[in-house]
């Protein structure tokens, strides 16, 4: 079993058996006495998730990675937040339940990244801040609510790590992010370009977010890369519009049977030091690995390649990330939500200020 490093593990053990915790009035302290915020040698306190060494994974109310919950981004360097909508979906609905199931499956996550030796809970103050209060009956109203919620998050300096929800949500999120940072670079991992203009008379749905972002000047188009695009299309060149804007388009055929580490070295050079947003649609992965999604396309990326892409973002000026389109109803084993939870953890582990052992 992967073990917490010395200082956190000893502190957890001491907290768990301390007399003060036996009489604590806080329900959280009574249930989870082992994982209150810990003070590091620098004097700064960080939230530490509950460890299965001391508190069973089946215990407690699910939060992302078993982190503490708080109702705002105040005092946080990063925050997990859910946006449970699927009213922009064009095929199978169900992504509104994605954030909830990702939280459930994230109980399996531990405190350290054994592959990269990242120590997120010794590096950034992070918590789960719940869900945006969406309107399931009015997509445009929900987009307004998302933008307003994210304005408040980014105003504090907090980096949002978002659990979707369908891909519509990236558009209102980027409205708030670009308001603070200016036009951002974008690393977009997906089976679909999501650059359609209109369908059934509507301009806002999960096939249009990046078209709307370009319309509003939210993206630095020379720093946009789309990875994993594939499937049948409405024209012979489904990605002509993307290329015309200056996007780099990496179709899935360019990714088959190879490591994507060399590609990500090129992407890092392209992104430079400017602000970058990472948007990862779970349907970028082959449905054999991630069946729980609304618009699956065969012959996709592997989870290994997905991890390579995210780890390849290390060193970038990431100002936000999202993981979208997990639809648990089609995910009979829970593997899609589990994969989504792990990819979100990988995103946390490449944020600025991350400490590595």
Last residue of a domain, one of 45, 60, 75: 60
Asked if residue 17 has pLDDT above 60, the reply is: no
Helix, strand, or coil (residue 3) = coil
- Other Cβ atoms less than 10 A from the Cβ of 251: the count is 15
Q: What is the pLDDT of residues 48-63, one digit of tens each?
A: 999 999 999 999 999 9
pLDDT digits (tens, 9 = 90+) for 151-179: 999 999 999 999 999 999 999 999 999 99
The reply to whether 206 sits in an annotated binding site is no
Statement to judge: residues 248 and 290 lie in one domain: yes
Q: How far apart are CA 111 and CA 89, in angstroms?
A: 34
Any domain includes 354: no
Q: What would the pLDDT profile of 61-84 be if each residue is shown by its tens digit?
A: 999 999 999 999 999 999 999 999
Length of the chain: 357
Query: Is 167 a known ligand-binding residue?
Result: yes
Q: Is residue 353 part of a domain?
A: no
Over 90: is that where the pLDDT of 30 sits? no
Question: What is the percent of the chain where pLDDT is above 70?
Answer: 88
| Within-domain flag for 80 | yes
State how far the Cα of 126 lies from the Cα of 161, in Å rounded to an integer.
Answer: 10
Residue 213, pLDDT above cutoff 70: yes
C-beta of residue 174 within 8 angstroms of C-beta of residue 151: no
Q: Looking at the 3D structure of the chain, how many domains does it have?
A: 2
Q: pTM of the predicted model, to two decimals?
A: 0.89
Shared-domain flag, residues 250 and 291: yes
- Both 205 and 101 in one domain: the answer is yes
Domain that holds residue 54: 1-60
Question: Does 311 lie in the same domain as 273?
Answer: yes
pLDDT of residue 162: 99
Q: Compute and round to an integer the Cα radius of gyration of the chain.
A: 20
- Whose structure tokens read 């940072």? 181
pLDDT mean across residues, the chain: 91
Residue at which a domain ends, from 60, 76, 91: 60
Closest alpha carbon to 193 in 131, 119, 245: 245
- Residue 3 clears pLDDT 50, i.e. is over it: no
50 is in an annotated binding site: no
- Was 194 annotated as part of a binding site? yes
Distance CA 117, CA 41 (A): 19
Residues 279 and 322: beta-carbon distance below 8 Å: yes
The pLDDT confidence band at residue 45, using thresholds 50, 70 and 90, is confident
Distance CA 338, CA 326 (A): 10
357 occurs within a structural domain: no
Is 208's pLDDT higher than 60?
Answer: yes
- pLDDT tens digit string along 95-138? 999 999 999 999 999 999 999 999 999 999 999 999 999 999 99
Question: Percentage of the chain with pLDDT > 90?
Answer: 86
Same domain, 44 and 149: no
Residue 192 assigned as binding residue = yes
Looking at the structure, tell me whether residues 186 and 300 fall in a common domain: yes
CATH of the domain at 254: 3.40.800.10
* Same domain assignment for residues 158 and 54: no
In a domain, 356, yes or no: no
| Helix and strand totals (H; E) in the chain | 11, 10
Residue 150 CA to residue 145 CA, distance in Å, equals 9
């Amino acid at each position: 079993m992967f073990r917490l490093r010395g200082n956190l593990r000893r502190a957890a053990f001491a907290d768990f058996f301390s007399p003060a915790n036996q009489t604590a009035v806080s329900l959280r302290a009574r249930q989870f006495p082992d994982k209150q915020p810990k003070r590091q040698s620098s004097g700064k306190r960080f939230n530490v998730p509950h460890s299965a060494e001391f508190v069973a994974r089946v215990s407690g109310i699910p939060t992302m990675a078993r982190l503490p919950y708080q109702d705002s981004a105040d005092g946080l360097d990063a925050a997990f937040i859910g946006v449970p909508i699927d009213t922009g979906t064009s095929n199978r609905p169900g992504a509104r339940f994605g954030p909830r199931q990702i939280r459930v499956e994230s109980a399996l996550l531990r405190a350290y990244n054994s592959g990269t030796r990242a120590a997120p809970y010794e590096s950034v103050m992070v918590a789960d801040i719940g869900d945006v209060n969406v309107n399931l009956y009015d997509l445009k109203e929900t987009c307004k609510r998302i933008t307003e919620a994210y304005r408040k998050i980014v105003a504090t300096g907090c980096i949002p790590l978002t659990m979707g929800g369908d891909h519509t949500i990236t558009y209102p999120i980027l409205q708030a992010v670009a308001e603070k940072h200016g036009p951002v670079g974008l690393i977009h991992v997906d089976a679909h370009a999501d650059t359609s203009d209109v369908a059934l008379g509507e301009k806002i749905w999960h096939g249009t977010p990046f078209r709307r972002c370009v319309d509003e000047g939210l993206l630095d188009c020379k720093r946009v890369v789309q990875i994993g695009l594939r499937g049948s299309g409405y024209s012979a060149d489904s990605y002509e519009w993307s290329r015309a804007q200056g996007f780099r388009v990496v179709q899935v055929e360019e990714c088959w049977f190879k490591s994507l580490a060399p590609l990500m070295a090129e992407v890092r050079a392209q992104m430079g030091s400017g602000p970058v947003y990472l948007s990862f649609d779970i349907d970028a992965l082959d449905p054999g690995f991630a069946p729980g999604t609304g618009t699956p396309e065969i012959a996709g990326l592997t989870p290994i390649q997905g991890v390579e892409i995210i780890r390849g973002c290390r060193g970038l000026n990431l100002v936000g990330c999202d993981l979208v389109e997990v639809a648990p109803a089609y995910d009979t084993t829970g593997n899609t939500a589990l994969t989504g939870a792990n990819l979100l953890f990988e995103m946390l582990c490449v944020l600025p200020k991350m400490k590595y052992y």
